[in-house]
Chains A and B, each alone.
Chain A
């Protein structure tokens, strides 16, 4: 049992970056097609990462390396905790720990781009964190436990009773993956007024580690969505990929908005939708 769990954790650590990188490649290809471009090959993210690791090690200050390392460790840890079916709230806090580490790395450099990017990343955290916690609470109300593994004991998939949380999850994904209209703290393209925002001062191998952390994060988010349809692995995967596709489509049909708009949308619409779902479930139907 214990060996099995360790193997499971190792498998997640090993394969998640591969899956995440491939999905990112698919994302870039899809985005290119939507923009009538041919786009890079599917494996481009891996080529990019290899190139980044072969570059010179340049830093502005030593704290940056610590921040990147803690960021990567927390993203990997949160995925491992999800795979092992641990407490979902702890998991969210670990995720937040990673974000805070990266934000502090951005803050540690006295650069206007990276500092404004970090300030905005704090606001992004403020926007999505309540939505994630509400989601975990909703899962608790269904299962009576905070552990991810307790979802497995449910007979019905969560999506039947918590459909609106899929909508809020798309919001969260758009923010976490820095997709339009939520690419406020630093987008994927360095041609905006913030250059690359919070990422501006990270380069070479450090940037490579950040990319790997992003892949872990992507797989974590998709895995979290898949929890909503745990009864059928295929349906779960399709649901997760469907959400990812929706985020990509939204990314391509919208422009970047301001942080005020983001906070309004997530707090009013996002929290509103979460509460509406809970109210419909428990207020009207009764427990």
Chain B
């Protein structure tokens, strides 16, 4: 009875209002935070926005689950002005801002790319008179709903975490005139833009939100205003503008072919036979290129690496729920249009190559944020490789990876940020023995890391699906095998540093964390654990319906359900419980009967009673034991590999366009 009430209540909610909350509320709250410069007001506004947006995304999710259909929505005009026109004006303003930025920063690349994009835009609007899409400009299918959930919930958790972080950040950098209002303006605007991008069906709307995320990321990366921050923000801007140019080029090509500028219609048209599909390959290659820039695939990886100069909440946001996920989302969206073509294979190899290259370079990094950044590049590569495989099974892997990677990566960045605020370091070597000084944060961090590489955590099960899907393309499979093993290397090395301790090391007891640090960390860590325990329902209720609905909408004749038998039948829950028992039993035994603790073995030369591990070296001199990790600089250093990796990346992008234009 009560369930029915809730169900009918959810059904009665206007989906348009939900979309309004998801897209417009973050932007409005951002403006409000910018206008009202009071600390308490800002905290209140951000927290209320976080709750409301999370609630709206959950309601939309329940609406989708109850209605079992895609939502189509045309927002009513505001004061007689249609939203089409408003978006158009907004996009024009954005391009103008980019041109001004290019001129102000004296950057020829930015200026030229912004101008090029503006030219394309003008040509489209004035010269082409694009055939107007009659479909609703906003659409939410199950895939978009899942993505909105990720963006809204994880994004808002990170925004909450940013509140104490930015306070500590400004205190630490001795910034007296607070820049927090501006920071939160762009942070919240970013989340609204992401939701808009996910829900847009009209390609012009999509492109406008796409540009808005570029602007927000630029402003957030350069937030600290140091020379390095400005330089790296410029690089991020021009690379993403290149993606924007690719996107507008794709739209122009579609318009030139008389296609309506609607994602759904383009996809439906691509299913109309081989000739129709071939005609659409070139615009699809453009969209893929745009996706590669945003997802920082080789050769565009450098902007994401540079972006780590930004305050850590920005990195958490860029790497987990926004920005890079926008890139893969675009490619996932359009994947059916290049189903079964060589273009799809090339896309798979771009992803596969970034997967291996990112994992390899991560091995050589001592900076925690750099390791996380390369790991992001690597994981997004895996997602794109799955999309390139373009089978229902591979798509399932891709969607799973998007979900689980967002949770774990957001959590790891936030934990690194907490460590940075407490220890003033982001160097993995200096995190040696962190388990003694910050046991709580370290435990959460270790769970986060293990959730990226061990069974039965979701990322690994997704990797399993990816590997099983990739047997279709043996050369890609080999890349995936090598990349997965390298992934184990850098995560294990990092965890090893965190745990390294000796009985003589002083213990500080459990550290006290600000509640707005602790709660976001706990939420995402428990999210990673709980979703992994519930991996089978997550798969059958969330991921597989998304993939199935998606294929049904495009190829109604063959509703394809991914062949997931082996993975679904595996007793994941008993397996996870057995491992939990294996962790808990020794702890319990140790509690009951404490074993004796002995010092480290140093061939009988150890000196006891000192707060550090010390041994007698030559001449009986007391020497402190210093240990550091292996980083194999000469093997996997960035400089050693940068040139050829960039070359391969560029070659793959050229190949992308080659196959798109020549393949008949």
B570 at the interface (CB under 8 A from A): yes
B112 at the interface (CB under 8 A from A): no
A231 at the interface (CB under 8 A from B): no
Q: Restricting to B501-552, which residues have a CB under 8 Å from any CB of A?
A: 501-503, 505
Candidates B471, B484, B597, B627; contact of A110 at CB < 8 Å:
B627
B108 at the interface (CB under 8 A from A): no
A155 at the interface (CB under 8 A from B): no
Using C-beta atoms within 8 Å of the partner chain, give the interface range for chain B. 35 or more
The interface residues of chain A lying within 8 Å CB-to-CB of B627 are 110, 112, 115
* CA distance in complex: A66, B586 (Å): 6
B433 at the interface (CB under 8 A from A): yes
Cβ A90 vs Cβ B464 within 8 A: yes
Stretch at the interface among A36-44, A99-107, A161-169: A99-107
Stretch at the interface among B35-43, B227-235, B368-376, B577-585: B577-585
Candidates A59, A61, A104, A201; contact of B495 at CB < 8 Å:
A104
Q: Restricting to B212-245, which residues have a CB under 8 Å from any CB of A?
A: none
- Chain A 235-272 interface mask (CB, 8 Å, partner B; 1/0): 00000000000000000000000000000000000010
Cβ A69 vs Cβ B582 within 8 A: yes
Residue of B with least CB distance to A113 = B601
Cβ A110 vs Cβ B464 within 8 A: no
Cβ A72 vs Cβ B454 within 8 A: no
The interface residues of chain A lying within 8 Å CB-to-CB of B597 are 58-61
The interface residues of chain B lying within 8 Å CB-to-CB of A125 are 485, 488-489, 492
Cβ A59 vs Cβ B500 within 8 A: no
Cβ B629 vs Cβ A119 within 8 A: yes
A89 at the interface (CB under 8 A from B): yes
* CA distance in complex: A113, B500 (Å): 13
Residue of B with least CB distance to A196 = B601
Cβ B582 vs Cβ A70 within 8 A: yes
Cβ B625 vs Cβ A110 within 8 A: yes
A152 at the interface (CB under 8 A from B): no
Cβ B485 vs Cβ A110 within 8 A: no
Stretch at the interface among A127-135, A172-180, A181-189, A221-229: A127-135
Nearest CB on A from B431, distance (A): 13
Residue of A with least CB distance to B586 = A65
B587 at the interface (CB under 8 A from A): yes
* CA distance in complex: A22, B41 (Å): 72
Q: Is chain A's interface secondary structure helix, strand, loop, or mixed overall?
A: helix
Cβ A104 vs Cβ B601 within 8 A: no
The interface residues of chain B lying within 8 Å CB-to-CB of A65 are 586-587, 589-590, 595
The interface residues of chain B lying within 8 Å CB-to-CB of A97 are 454-455, 579
- Chain A 67-105 interface mask (CB, 8 Å, partner B; 1/0): 011101110010000000011011001101100100110
Candidates A73, A87, A96, A108; contact of B500 at CB < 8 Å:
A108
* CA distance in complex: A86, B505 (Å): 44
Cβ A201 vs Cβ B601 within 8 A: yes
The interface residues of chain B lying within 8 Å CB-to-CB of A271 are 478
Nearest CB on A from B16, distance (A): 45
Cβ A59 vs Cβ B579 within 8 A: no
Candidates B460, B485, B581; contact of A130 at CB < 8 Å:
B485
B274 at the interface (CB under 8 A from A): no
Cβ A115 vs Cβ B566 within 8 A: no
* CA distance in complex: A130, B488 (Å): 12
Residue of A with least CB distance to B591 = A62
Cβ A110 vs Cβ B590 within 8 A: no
Nearest CB on A from B464, distance (A): 6
Stretch at the interface among A24-32, A45-53, A140-148: A140-148
- Chain B 578-610 interface mask (CB, 8 Å, partner A; 1/0): 110111011101100101111111110000000
* CA distance in complex: A69, B590 (Å): 12
The interface residues of chain A lying within 8 Å CB-to-CB of B629 are 119
B123 at the interface (CB under 8 A from A): no
The interface residues of chain A lying within 8 Å CB-to-CB of B187 are none
The interface residues of chain A lying within 8 Å CB-to-CB of B455 are 90, 93-94, 97
The interface residues of chain A lying within 8 Å CB-to-CB of B453 are 100
Nearest CB on B from A85, distance (A): 11
Nearest CB on B from A200, distance (A): 6
B474 at the interface (CB under 8 A from A): yes
The interface residues of chain A lying within 8 Å CB-to-CB of B505 are 110
A195 at the interface (CB under 8 A from B): yes
* CA distance in complex: A164, B541 (Å): 43
Cβ B579 vs Cβ A73 within 8 A: yes
* CA distance in complex: A104, B450 (Å): 11
The interface residues of chain B lying within 8 Å CB-to-CB of A192 are none
B496 at the interface (CB under 8 A from A): yes
- Chain B 466-507 interface mask (CB, 8 Å, partner A; 1/0): 011001001001100110111011001101110111110100
The interface residues of chain A lying within 8 Å CB-to-CB of B497 are 107
A137 at the interface (CB under 8 A from B): yes
* CA distance in complex: A87, B596 (Å): 41
The verdict on A126 contacting B488 (CB below 8 Å), with A107-B499, A110-B502, A115-B500 known, is: yes
Residue of B with least CB distance to A62 = B590
Cβ B575 vs Cβ A87 within 8 A: no
The interface residues of chain B lying within 8 Å CB-to-CB of A122 are 488-489, 492-493
Nearest CB on B from A147, distance (A): 6
The interface residues of chain B lying within 8 Å CB-to-CB of A191 are none
Nearest CB on A from B541, distance (A): 22
The verdict on A126 contacting B489 (CB below 8 Å), with A73-B582, A97-B454 known, is: yes
Nearest CB on B from A214, distance (A): 17
* CA distance in complex: A275, B482 (Å): 14
A151 at the interface (CB under 8 A from B): no
The interface residues of chain B lying within 8 Å CB-to-CB of A153 are none
A16 at the interface (CB under 8 A from B): no
* CA distance in complex: A97, B593 (Å): 28
Q: Count chain B CB atoms within 10 A of each CB in A89, A97, A110, A129 and give the residue with the most.
A: A110
A156 at the interface (CB under 8 A from B): no
Nearest CB on B from A74, distance (A): 8
The interface residues of chain B lying within 8 Å CB-to-CB of A112 are 602, 625, 627
Nearest CB on A from B618, distance (A): 16
Cβ A107 vs Cβ B500 within 8 A: yes
Candidates B460, B493, B499; contact of A63 at CB < 8 Å:
B499
Nearest CB on B from A58, distance (A): 5
Residue of B with least CB distance to A84 = B571
The interface residues of chain B lying within 8 Å CB-to-CB of A109 are 500-502, 600
Cβ B502 vs Cβ A119 within 8 A: no
A–B pairs, 25, beta carbons within 8 Å? A58-B598, A61-B501, A69-B583, A73-B579, A73-B582, A89-B464, A89-B468, A90-B464, A96-B454, A100-B488, A100-B492, A108-B499, A109-B600, A110-B501, A111-B601, A118-B496, A122-B493, A125-B488, A125-B492, A126-B485, A126-B489, A141-B471, A195-B601, A201-B601, A278-B474
The 8 closest A-B pairs by CB, nearest first: A107-B496, A73-B582, A57-B595, A65-B586, A110-B502, A108-B499, A111-B600, A129-B485
Q: Using a CB–CB distance below 8 Å, which chain B residues touch chain A?
A: 433, 435, 453-455, 460, 464, 467-468, 471, 474, 477-478, 481-482, 484-486, 488-489, 492-493, 495-497, 499-503, 505, 566-567, 570, 575, 578-579, 581-583, 585-587, 589-590, 593, 595-603, 613, 625, 627, 629-630
Given contacts A90-B455, A109-B600, 14 further A-B contacts (CB under 8 A): A58-B596, A61-B502, A63-B499, A65-B589, A65-B595, A70-B583, A89-B467, A90-B567, A100-B454, A106-B496, A110-B600, A129-B481, A134-B481, A145-B566
